[in-house]
Structure 1
Amino acid sequence: AAHQMDRRADRLAAGLADVRVADRVAKLRFPDPAPCGRTPLTATGLSKSYGSLEVFAGVDLAIDRGARVVILGLNGAGKTTMLRMLAGVESPDTGEVHHGHGLRLGYYAQEHETLDTDQSVLDNMRATAPGTSDVELRRILGAFLFSGDTVAQPAGTLSGGEKTRLALAGLVCSAANVLLLDEPTNNLDPASRGEVLAALATFRGAVVLVTHDPGAVEALAPDKVLMLPDGVEDSWSADLAELITLA
């Protein structure tokens, strides 16, 4: 009976080891943001049209140091387009985006277009933080579950979840004081999603968030909301929470 119990304990322990491996998760923590002025990012009179379709017009936005802003709007209202403009990836038809003193932007793109798919995982990190040693970059990549030969793997061969982890690892290197996040919890397993939400909750810089994930908004605890396409900027209210999944 004792031998049978030992064998059963061994089988249970082996199963628990499998679970531990499967549940490994990147321990995500954004570093303290770089110092910046009181209002590091502003936008005035932004508009965008595609042909005869006007997406939004005359949008003004001011992102103060440490601000927590969520952008809401139905599909097609231009939420991703707005983030791309703020990130300098896309130009507005009218209006301007102004960089304040000490601005350091970190942009997470929903479709991972900030990654160079032809370059390796490690080379993508080098491009994000050119002054950081390979030893430190490999350490950060290891925290995001990239190790061994995987750091030499082309980013284009990664899965959606792996690309998300690589893009987030790049943000950790950036010391950004304004994060522009477009659906950062997509493609993540529940444990990794939890790490992202915990990191959002403790980040001390400014965040502009686009998401369909109510948990992400709850973790962010926004103080302002930008409603598109009208471009109305207002204080956040819990009454708006029901619009998150509809957006």
Structure 2
Amino acid sequence: MRKEAPAHLNLTETQLRGYLGMFGLSSNKVFQESGTLSGGEKTKLALAMLMVGRNNLLLLDEPTNNLDPSSREAIADALSTWKGAIIFVSHDTEFVERLEPTKVLLLPDGEVDYFNQSWLDLVSLS
């Protein structure tokens, strides 16, 4: 997976393992060719590589699709430590809660609705 890491970062093996480990990719997975990874592992690799790049905004579409519960938790934990902004679409309310977003837009049936105002700020469409 080393060739998937942004070349300009010159990550050491320890640093690379650390980032991949945050997303639940460890041991022999670090040396495995990315083309041989499962769909969920490819998702984790892509998210890890986004976080180590020179990005300050992540746009994610259903980042937890096809992931097992422990993988969803690992991704939520890793993304919650990221300093940049994240805009994402998700049907996974537990994932949304774990990220503790500052703003949420809920659109059931295409209409803006309220979603647990005790912990979420809602955005209007105006």
- Partner in structure 1 of residue 91 of structure 2: 212
Q: Distance in 2 between matches of 1:211 and 1:178?
A: 17
Which structure has the greater CA radius of gyration?
A: 1
Deviations 1:68-112 (A, max 9, x none): xxxxxxxxxxxxxxxxxxxxxxxxxxxxxxxxxxxxxxxxxxxxx
Matches within 5 A, 1:218-237: 218-220=97-99, 221-225=101-105, 237=114
Cα-to-partner distance string for 1:158-214 (whole Å, 9 max, x where unaligned): 111211221122123125221111111122221121122233444332110111111
8 Å CA contact retained: 1:164, 1:184: yes
Pick closer, same or farther for the CA change 1:158–1:239 going to 2, 3 Å: same
**Distance in 2 (alpha carbons) for counterparts of 1:194 and 1:149:** 19
* 1:21-100 equivalence runs, <5 A: none
Show the counterpart of 1:199: 78
Q: How many residues align?
A: 113
Ranges in structure 1 where 5+ consecutive residues have no aligned partner? 1-120, 242-247
Tell me the TM-score normalized by structure 1: 0.37
1:210–1:124 CA distance, 2 compared to 1 (3 A): same
CA distance in 1, matches of 2:10, 2:90: 31
SS in 2 for 1:130: helix
In 2, Cα distance between the equivalents of 1:129 and 1:222?
A: 33
Listed as ranges, the gaps of 5+ residues in structure 2 are 121-126
Secondary structure of 1:180's aligned partner: strand
Alpha-carbon distance in structure 1 between the residues aligned to 2:3 and 2:51 = 15
Aligned to 2:10: 132
In 2, distance between residues paired with 1:200 and 1:218? 12
TM-score (norm 2): 0.65
As a proportion of its length, which structure holds more strand? 1
Amino acid at match of 1:178: L
Percent identity of the aligned residues? 40
Determine if contact 1:140/1:169 at 8 Å carries over to the other structure.
Answer: no
Number of the residue aligned with 2:124 = none
- Report 1 or 2 for greater relative contact order, CA contacts < 8 Å, sequence distance ≥ 6: 1
2:65 to 186, 198, 220: 186
- Where does structure 1 differ by over 4 angstroms across 4 or more consecutive aligned residues? none
1:162 is matched with which residue: 26, 37, 41? 41
Larger proportion of helix: 2
Superposition CA RMSD, Å? 3.4
In 2, Cα distance between the equivalents of 1:179 and 1:145?
20
